[in-house]
Structure 1
Amino acid sequence: MFKHSQLESVKAWLAHPSHAAMPLHARIQRAIRQLILDGALGAGKPLPASRALAASLGVSRDTIESAYTQLHAEGFIERRVGSGSFVAEMTEFAPGQRRSRRDALLRNQAPNLSKRGAAMFNGGGVRSMLTPRAFTHGIPETRTFPIQLWERLERQVLKDYGTKALLHGDPQGAEPLRRAIADYVNLERGARATADRVLVLTSSQQAMMLCASMLLDPGDRIFIEDPAYHGARKAFDAAGLECVPVRVDRQGIVVEQIMDDPRGAKAVSLTPSHQFPTGAKLALDRRLALIEWAARHQAWLLEDDYDSEFHYNGKPTACVQGLDPHDRTIYIGTFTKSLFPSLRIGYVVLPPQLVKPMTVARTLLDGHTALIPQLTLARFMDGGHFGAHVRTMRGIYAERLEALTNLVEQHLSEFVEARVPMGGLQMPCILTCDLSERAAIDAGRRVGIELFGLSGLHASENAKAGFLMGFAAYTPEELEMAVKKLADVLRSTIRN
């Protein structure tokens, strides 16, 4: 007969809501199988007679017989005429404690990864937070998103496309969305795009990985901004590239360092419209110089235009891709910042000769981007809703940036110096007090505040300590509460 604990384990399995869809005999069979796998029922142990177990569980004897028959067919038990049912000997399987010890040993072993795999693992991935805390950077406001309008457009898509919307999509992206993206970047960003040059992806991070893998070989050099967006650097490190940092000043990346480097590089990674994290805008003469350098050396310019929609002082500068007559610029965009993170739609505008190779390569990564969100987004853009939403959020974010700037001046001026950006979703702050960056970040986390350190974005060792404060996803009232809380914990940390 089962021990009391074993019988209760079987009853718990039967009662669990997630197992309700299974036939009763299958639930009993799975419960007993799990006891065997866990080592709770050792090899050679007798199982209860079918009549006795049926009485204990309040089921029919036929139900128990069906469960035992399946266990016997799978090799978990032996049935001996006149003797009953017993747990089978499984010499190649180590249940229970032996399996637990083996799993523990395996977990503690160094994984046998490739060089590229080790680079990806050691890079730590890109920060992801399911529920953002003040002042998580790069997160847009989603509570005001017109979700009912989005639902209506999605219903229209399903009505018009029917079951076709449930099939695989075009690996290059749904044609209506590619057309809408091309129209948008041409009008708003001064790009030179057509629908057949747009490749729809799941994110700008995927675009970085794709460019790194398809355009450069391991060991090739790539110029990156210093400081630089951490996601780009990790993508390039994972691809085995040699990242060559180039200083950034108030006018963006210092192109003289690129021009004077005798070894050169095969690509330059840029955030020209709003440099991450400094907020600097790349000057026009530097843009033109990079375009000519890339054409002369047959190099690539990777232009990450990650949040150019949100520019608060004057009009945003036209993108580099639109100025490049030589087709050496790859324009990378995303809707994660302008709409909402879970949309998972980004895109690249490619030179014509790269469209087919890049599209084939993306089929090896994840096939295609989900079709229904693509078609819904296309209608959202074609109907003018995207432009209206961006204009609304631009006003909201400008107010929140002003609120955060005033709050930092009022409550945090003894600790930091704010570098007010011309655009974007976050504000850099430089530490001016006797407190390390790590101590400030840890202090914030103790009170539920998320700060992103600046020094880790620099390749040079003389980087100024500080942190990014995201403001877009938080109301002025929420910002005020968080700033005051941060001021108190920083003051307490210094005092102690």
Structure 2
Amino acid sequence: MAATSLVLDGPAGAPLQEQLAEALRGAILAGRLAPGTRLLSTRALSEQLDLSRNTVLNAYARLLAEGYLVGHTGSGTYVARELPERHASVRRAASRGPARGLEAEPPALSRRGAALAAVPAPFDLARGIPPGRMAFRLGVPALDAFPSELWGRLLHTRWRRSWGDLLSWAPPAGHPPLRRAIADYLATSRGVRCVPEQVLIVSGSQQAMSLAAQVLMDPGDAAWVEDPGYFATLGALTAAGATAVPVPVDAEGLDVEAGLRLRPDAKLAFVTPAHQFPLGVVMSPRRRQALLAWAARAKAWVLEDDYDSEFRYVGRPLPALQGRIPDARVLYTGTFSKVVAPSLRVGYLVVPEALVDAFAAARGFAGLSSPVLEQAVLADFLTQGHFNRHVRRMRVLYAARQDALVEAARRELKGLVDVEPTHTGMHLTGWLPEGVDDRAASARAAQAGLLAFPLSQFRLESRGRGALMLGYSPVPEEQMDDSVARLARALR
């Protein structure tokens, strides 16, 4: 690639890294940089364009995250062979000649549709990273330890016994035996107050958030979201026409007093109190009480996302916020994606009895029901005791993998990334030295075939020290040393 072919002529005042990213993106979409083309190294390009190397690193990081570039360990950065779908029509039109009809003038979206299309989706962060490259990927369980033979036997038995029933429609709220099994499990393991009728089966926590926003909020209503936090909540709120209010997170979790200063009239608060995502802090009892008191006083609701509470390595899991007091204005959601497998796409939402009918109706309109066979097999997995045994095995396995990550990091990443152990979860926060751009560091990791998300990707308005999110659950112990060493080489 010739540097002289790039023209940095972005909007006046735009940062140079944005101008460079736009120039590279334009060259890719115009075909001047063909799929599979190897780009110059960041050092070489910075010298040819007389830019700082950090500027080039940041531009590459942006295009890696957007899916225009991919990194290959030891060989450099390349133009992706499959470009993002939202620009596929541009490439097809260029190859066929003048565009006509919808391609020449794309249909206008509604204001809400345009806003929703602009929200970063969770999978965008992993775009261009081959599925086999799992080192440090967030939210992925140990698929190498999945009980495949047992699951296959349960699947065969359930189909043989009940195939006639499983081919019919299922209730929108979910397979009744699974709802009963989940209610029993949550009562004993998490202290959740519920009966089976309050449990709705959803396709995951994302759908639970969307249902809560649509059922409980009107367009223009405000909702508190953690900052930094799980960015997919923005999609749920945008689809409902609601307004996200970023509330800072500190060592005690969501800062309720800050939320009261920002928008005391909010109708909903999205929180991860047991293990805040992504920082990993636990909401203090004082903050929990303040949050529940605000919800009762303001007649607002709290959506408690308990996404990985099963994995606590010291003592018992903390009781859920939902069961802290009777009649708490709390909806509780969890998922089997992080405990069993992501492709299962089965989660649950526990709603107060007064809201059951409304949420069941909304769930029906959102897609009738989740696949019945998977629900039936999962019910057997729970009721026969396999789920609890699997969780116990995973706790031991993940504790060992966390120890391996911490030990390797202290040996290989000294001065580069500060990694400390925690008592819960599936990932650790690797803090970078002050002044180091975590997006650039993430891009360097991606070039080494490692998916270490930058903490800044999860920030809305908050600022602070950069960090890399290091998921250890999918990395076998025997591969941890090599993965950490590759990260160290990339960051050096």
Q: Match for residue 245 of structure 2?
A: 244
Q: Does 1:112 align with 2:113?
A: no
Separation of aligned partners in 2, 1:127 and 1:412 = 28
Q: Does 1:290 align with 2:272?
A: no
Separation of aligned partners in 1, 2:371 and 2:104 = 37
**Aligned residues of 1:333 and 1:346 also touching (Cα < 8 A):** yes
Q: Match for residue 220 of structure 1?
A: 221
Give deviations 1:84-112, integer Å, cap 9, x for gaps.
xxxxxxxxxxxx99994465774464552
Give deviations 1:184-225, integer Å, cap 9, x for gaps.
000000000111000001111111111111111221111111
| 2:408 counterpart letter in structure 1 | L
1:385-400 alignment runs, 5 A limit: 385-400=386-401
**Aligned residues of 1:258 and 1:264 also touching (Cα < 8 A):** no
Q: Match for residue 49 of structure 1?
A: none
**Aligned residues of 2:382 and 2:388 also touching (Cα < 8 A):** yes
| 2:110 counterpart letter in structure 1 | S
1:435-474 alignment runs, 5 A limit: 435-474=436-475
Q: Match for residue 409 of structure 1?
A: 410
Separation of aligned partners in 2, 1:98 and 1:243 = 38
| 1:113 counterpart letter in structure 2 | L
SS of 1:302's partner is strand
Q: Does 1:383 align with 2:379?
A: no
SS of 2:145's partner is coil
Q: How far off its partner does 1:313 sit?
A: 2.3
Q: Match for residue 368 of structure 2?
A: 367
Q: 1:355 to 1:114 in 2, by over 3 A?
A: same
| 1:279 counterpart letter in structure 2 | G
SS of 1:127's partner is helix
338-347 or 234-243, larger mean C-alpha shift: 234-243
Separation of aligned partners in 1, 2:263 and 2:392 = 45
Separation of aligned partners in 1, 2:132 and 2:158 = 30
Q: How far off its partner does 1:261 sit?
A: 4.7
Q: 1:237 to 1:418 in 2, by over 3 A?
A: farther
Q: How far off its partner does 1:483 sit?
A: 0.9
Q: 1:289 to 1:416 in 2, by over 3 A?
A: same
Q: How far off its partner does 1:296 sit?
A: 1.4
| 2:330 counterpart letter in structure 1 | T
| 2:185 counterpart letter in structure 1 | Y
Q: 1:384 to 1:261 in 2, by over 3 A?
A: same
Q: How far off its partner does 1:307 sit?
A: 0.3
Q: Match for residue 66 of structure 2?
A: none
Separation of aligned partners in 2, 1:174 and 1:401 = 36
| 1:119 counterpart letter in structure 2 | A
Q: Match for residue 122 of structure 1?
A: 118
Q: How far off its partner does 1:363 sit?
A: 1.5
Structure ID, larger Rg: 1
Give deviations 1:62-102, integer Å, cap 9, x for gaps.
xxxxxxxxxxxxxxxxxxxxxxxxxxxxxxxxxx9999446
| 2:338 counterpart letter in structure 1 | K
| 1:118 counterpart letter in structure 2 | A
1:216-365 alignment runs, 5 A limit: 216-261=217-262, 263-365=264-366
**Aligned residues of 2:305 and 2:333 also touching (Cα < 8 A):** yes
Q: How far off its partner does 1:132 sit?
A: 4.5
| 1:404 counterpart letter in structure 2 | L
| 1:222 counterpart letter in structure 2 | A
Q: 1:256 to 1:419 in 2, by over 3 A?
A: farther
Separation of aligned partners in 1, 2:403 and 2:374 = 34
Separation of aligned partners in 2, 1:297 and 1:472 = 39
| 2:399 counterpart letter in structure 1 | A
Q: Match for residue 163 of structure 1?
A: 164
Q: 1:104 to 1:281 in 2, by over 3 A?
A: farther
Q: 1:434 to 1:294 in 2, by over 3 A?
A: closer
Separation of aligned partners in 2, 1:434 and 1:450 = 21
Q: Does 1:142 align with 2:138?
A: no
Structure 1: gaps of 5 or more residues: 1-95, 492-496
Separation of aligned partners in 2, 1:119 and 1:412 = 40
Separation of aligned partners in 2, 1:379 and 1:441 = 41
**Aligned residues of 2:434 and 2:465 also touching (Cα < 8 A):** no
**Aligned residues of 2:416 and 2:433 also touching (Cα < 8 A):** yes
Give deviations 1:241-269, integer Å, cap 9, x for gaps.
22112221112112222344564210111
Separation of aligned partners in 2, 1:421 and 1:245 = 25
Separation of aligned partners in 2, 1:404 and 1:192 = 37
Separation of aligned partners in 1, 2:220 and 2:194 = 32
Q: How far off its partner does 1:133 sit?
A: 2.3
Structure 2: gaps of 5 or more residues: 1-91
Separation of aligned partners in 2, 1:109 and 1:103 = 9
SS of 1:143's partner is helix
1:46-61 alignment runs, 5 A limit: none
Q: 1:199 to 1:103 in 2, by over 3 A?
A: farther
SS of 2:141's partner is coil
**Aligned residues of 1:279 and 1:422 also touching (Cα < 8 A):** no
SS of 1:469's partner is strand
Q: Match for residue 475 of structure 1?
A: 476
Give deviations 1:28-61, integer Å, cap 9, x for gaps.
xxxxxxxxxxxxxxxxxxxxxxxxxxxxxxxxxx
Q: How far off its partner does 1:461 sit?
A: 4.5
Q: Match for residue 202 of structure 2?
A: 201
Separation of aligned partners in 2, 1:402 and 1:212 = 39
**Aligned residues of 1:229 and 1:277 also touching (Cα < 8 A):** yes
Separation of aligned partners in 1, 2:433 and 2:95 = 54
Separation of aligned partners in 2, 1:103 and 1:133 = 40
SS of 2:144's partner is coil
SS of 1:246's partner is strand
**Aligned residues of 2:133 and 2:450 also touching (Cα < 8 A):** no
**Aligned residues of 2:439 and 2:456 also touching (Cα < 8 A):** no
- Structure number with greater CO (CA < 8 Å, separation at least 6) is 2
| TM-score of the superposed pair, with normalisation by structure 1 | 0.76
Q: 1:111 to 1:425 in 2, by over 3 A?
A: farther
Q: Between the two proteins, what is the percent identity of the paired residues?
A: 38
Query: How many correspondences in the alignment?
Result: 396
| 2:309 counterpart letter in structure 1 | S
Q: List structure 1 runs of 4+ shifted beyond 6 angstroms.
A: 96-99
